[in-house]
Structure 1
Amino acid sequence: MNTPIDPPASALARDAHWAAKMARLKARQLPERSLRLCDDEHAKKAVTDTALALAKARTQARSESIEQGVLEAEREEWILSRPAVVAEQLELDDAERALEEATVVLTFRALPRPAWEQLLREHPPTEAQADQGMEYNVETYPAALIAACHIERDESGGEVPGMRGQEAQELLDAWPDSEAKALFTCALLVNQTLRADLGKG
């Protein structure tokens, strides 16, 4: 009866090393990209104005710290403690919260490659579009991609049902051309952004 031969320690180490790396590769999350929409010009201006006021307060406080001989290592903490800086920071925090409440955020997640290719097969270009070099039907594919990539989360962060294809088409038809293009582009780019460094060959 032959006695099993244990693999050499180097082989075991190599297998464990690769298994760990493969686990990391499989655990990678699909990339996400968000489109932020805000029609409240007052809220946007308030953030700009309060950020400018805070910058001025910090500049004034920095000048005072130099005049009073505050050490460089202690200067930032000293500046942050000045009443005018504290007040302007609070104003900015309030303005940013108001802007966040007035902003609608649409988040898109890249599709796994098989799903991406399947979506292209479901929306092939017309003969005329193919002659122009299009790889998909420009009339039907944008809404389908937007709906397929859109993800919605509730207040606890859990995923809930999101945009349907018909709803995506309604937005594309109702919005100005620039905003409709931004909506489609956001869903498209999240699938085309490379998160890898190809190195120096």
Structure 2
Amino acid sequence: MTSTRKTTQPPAAAVAKDAHWAAKMERLRARKLPERTMSICDDEAAKTAVTEAAMELARARAEALDECAKQGVGEDVRDAFVAANPRVLAADAALSRAQEALAEATTTLTFRALPRPVWEQLLLDHPPTEAQADKGMEYNVDTFPAALISACHIERDETGVELEGMSAEDAQELLDTWADPDAKALFTAPLLVNQTLRADLGKG
């Protein structure tokens, strides 16, 4: 006598639920760690040139719009009329050149948040001294900043490939030789990228 084994299929609702959660979990896994940049430019002339070029472009556009009104140019072609204005074209080109010069004079540092276990281990590696702990400090203020800067710094080449970045020694040198506001900004950038909440918790 041949026996037949009955195969029980899972409920369709459960299958759909599993697929739905699997897709959502995949999106959650794919989230990238946040990044934050810090731009440094000591060329005040380059900064001023961009500001002045932007103001000149605004003036040129305003005058071109006035010319539109005088000539009765319709709204549907007004943007094209302004964009083709010789003074606007010249001012726009001047702004582009000024922005390119500013970009060349600017050094940008990029910092990426650490995965939670790495962040917690870094805190454990740099515990506060007894005196610092008495003041409510969470980490050793003498050693943690350079370690955090180094751990979070991301260096990329022109193609976007990640390269070896700033060492803790490099970071400490900058912290020790820069002016106090700049040194604080250098530490604040990686600190904030690790402490800024991106999720919207909604209203309860």
Report the TM-score when normalising by structure 2. Answer: 0.97
Aligned pair partner of 1:123 in 122, 126, 135: 126
Q: How far does residue 4 in structure 1 lie from its aligned partner after superposition? A: 2.2
**Counterpart in the other structure of 2:181:** 178
1:156 is aligned with what amino acid? T
**Counterpart in the other structure of 2:190:** 187
1:174 is aligned with what amino acid? T
SS at match of 1:105: strand
**Counterpart in the other structure of 2:92:** 89
Q: What do the CA deviations read for 1:16-67 (whole angstroms, capped 9, x no partner)? A: 1111110000000000000000011111111011000000000000111111
Q: Distance in 2 between matches of 1:170 and 1:4?
A: 69
**Counterpart in the other structure of 1:104:** 107
**Counterpart in the other structure of 2:145:** 142
Q: Distance in 2 between matches of 1:50 and 1:5?
A: 74
**Counterpart in the other structure of 1:35:** 38
SS at match of 1:108: strand
2:133 is aligned with what amino acid? A
SS at match of 1:61: helix
Q: Distance in 1 between matches of 2:5 and 2:128?
A: 64
Q: What do the CA deviations read for 1:153-180 (whole angstroms, capped 9, x no partner)? A: 0011100000000000000000000000
Q: Distance in 2 between matches of 1:33 and 1:76?
A: 35
Q: How far does residue 76 in structure 1 lie from its aligned partner after superposition? A: 1.5
Larger Rg: 2
**Counterpart in the other structure of 2:203:** 200
Is 2:57 the counterpart of 1:64?
no
Q: Distance in 2 between matches of 1:74 and 1:195?
A: 42
Q: How far does residue 146 in structure 1 lie from its aligned partner after superposition? A: 0.2
Percent identical: 63
Q: How far does residue 78 in structure 1 lie from its aligned partner after superposition? A: 1.4
How large is the RMSD of aligned CA atoms in angstroms? Answer: 0.8
**Counterpart in the other structure of 2:52:** 49
Q: Distance in 1 between matches of 2:55 and 2:94?
A: 11
Q: How far does residue 11 in structure 1 lie from its aligned partner after superposition? A: 1.1
Q: How far does residue 2 in structure 1 lie from its aligned partner after superposition? A: 3.5
